[in-house]
Each structure stands twice: as structure tokens, then as C-alpha cells.
Amino acid sequence: MGGHPTGGDNSIRPSGVKSILAVASGKGGVGKSTVSSNLAVALAKQGRKVGLLDADIYGPSQPRMMGVNKRPASPDGKIIEPLQAHGVTMMSIGLMLDPDKAVVWRGPMLMGALQQMMSQVRWGELDVLIVDMPPGTGDVQLTLCQRAAPTGALVVSTPQDVALLDARKALDMFNTLKTPVLGLIENMSTFHCPKCGHEAQIFGHGGVKDEAGRLGLPFLGALPIDLDTRLAGDDGTPIAAGDGPIAQAYAQLADRLIK
């Protein structure tokens, strides 16, 4: 063995992409897409060439969070031109489908869509491609890990036990698929009341750090429950595009991940 895997004979890894970071979670709704878009923007602000692929096929959030809703062009019907937003090159299955229609696909169709988004999109030269994965441990994760050989995975969880329980399964999957886990992120960690300053641990606190310690994995940081984070996401301009404390937290996370 030796050298970095390329995804094997039927690789779907885009050739101009230096590293691929998979952002995963066990459960939906824990902030995986929010972390993906903010991390992408934070890395782009530091001068990196960044791509963001929304592979959350059942619930693509990136068009909304990155503020894009144009259908990507494909002049020759084969190569798809990605879109640009906040300094990031992006593509989402949500841009190709009717946003009000449910995706009811079996495994082979899901894998076909992932393959198309990886290898038919003109990603160009990128320092890093961030892949916002679907929650859980299904076909898309399996295909991505086996055929795109991600450089590493980040696992996002809230500190709540039910979220951690599923996060452990995601970690086990990456282990089995030999995808290095770069670390764990605790999202929705605490809530500071903006009126009275009281700090509430709505989903608990510290559970992800403890879990990382138990598993011998890096703990990459905690992000609070924050109204502005939610509003910025809904508004299509990730909070990392600004310069407040949350933007600084994402800049630190970006620093830790890409040296």
C-alpha cells in the first residue's frame, strides 16, 4: 500500500481537486449543512479555492443557505457548470430538481446522481471540496468513501445523547470504510440569552468533546445555538461571511483543518 487512495478503478474523484472533506452526521437537523456552508465560506475568505457539493440528496439545503437558485448550465448536455456564491464554487442536487417534489429514489439512482455531481461538474482546480453528506450511513456515503477517497470526514453532532448515539454509527462507518475522521464538532452547544445573558444548555453541553476523548479523535470546537446563525443561513449569506465571533470561530476551524 502507500500513497493516497484515488477512489480506485471506477473513481469519481474530480481530477483538479486536492482534498475532499466529507461533512457528516448521524442525525439530520444537527447543523451539518450549516457547518458545511460556513466552513466553505471561511476557507474561501482565507484565499483557498473552495468547492461545496450538496450531496444531501433527500433534503438539499445549500441553495437556500448559499443564496443561489439558478439552474446550472450544461451547454453540451454533459458537463455541468457549477455556480459561484460567496467566493465558493457550488453544486447541489437541489438546483436540478423541483424544490417542492420529494426525491423517491433507490440506491442506484442516488449513486448515479452523486457520480454526476462529482465527475460531470466542471469543478476546476480546487484546494478543497467540501461535501455536505446526507445524514446517516447509506448508499451515498458508501459510494463517496469508496469511489472518491475523501481526505477525511468531519462529524457534526449536538451534545444530546440521541444525536451522539447516531454520530457513533457514522464514526463506525468511516472506520469500516477506512476514511480518516479528522474530528468532531459540537453544534448547538449552548445558548446565551441576548437579553439577560443567561446561558442555557438546551441540548446539554460537552457531550461531543467527551465522546471525542473516549474515541481518541480530535475535538474541533463547539458552536453555540445562535439566532444570527439561523437567520444568516435562511437569508443565503452564511454568518462566516461576516466578522463577528461566530465568523471567527469558523475561521479558527478552517485554520485547524487546512494548514
Residues that constitute the known binding site for ATP: 26-33
By CB under 6 A, which span of 29-37, 70-78, 139-147, 178-186 interacts with ligand ADP?
A: 29-37
34 binds ligand ADP (CB under 6 A): yes
Q: Can residue 38 be called a binding residue for ligand ADP (CB under 6 A)?
A: no
- Name the percent of the chain in helix, strand, coil, to the closest 5: 35, 25, 40
Q: Pick from 170, 184, 188, 249: which binds ligand ADP (CB under 6 A)?
A: 188
Q: Per rule CB under 6 A, is residue 233 in the interface with ligand ADP?
A: yes
User: Least distance to ligand ADP from the beta carbon of 125, Å?
Assistant: 27
**Chain Cα centroid distance, residue 219:** 17
- Residues 219 and 186: their CA atoms lie apart, in Å, by 8
CA–CA separation, 116 and 99 (whole Å):
19
Contact 182, 138 (CB under 8 A): no
- Cα-flanking dihedrals φ and ψ of residue 56, to 5°? -80, 80
For residue 73, give the 3-state DSSP assignment.
Answer: coil
Of the candidates 39, 104, 26, the one whose C-alpha atom is nearest the C-alpha of residue 66 is 39
**Among 12, 13, 14, 25, which residue sits at the site for ligand ADP (rule: CB under 6 A)?**
25
From the list 30, 55, 140, 148, which residue makes contact with ligand ADP (rule: CB under 6 A)? 30
- Residue closer to ligand ADP by CB (options 221, 233) is 233
What is the smallest separation between the CB atom of 250 and ligand ADP, expressed in angstroms? 11
**Do 147 and 8 form a contact (C-beta atoms < 8 A)?**
yes
Look-up: residue for cell 483538479?
Answer: 16
Does 89 sit near ligand ADP (CB under 6 A)?
no
CB of 227 to ligand ADP, least distance (A): 7
Q: Residue 187, interface with ligand ADP (CB under 6 A)?
A: yes
Residues that bind ligand ADP (CB under 6 A): 25, 28-34, 61, 187-188, 223, 225-226, 229-230, 233
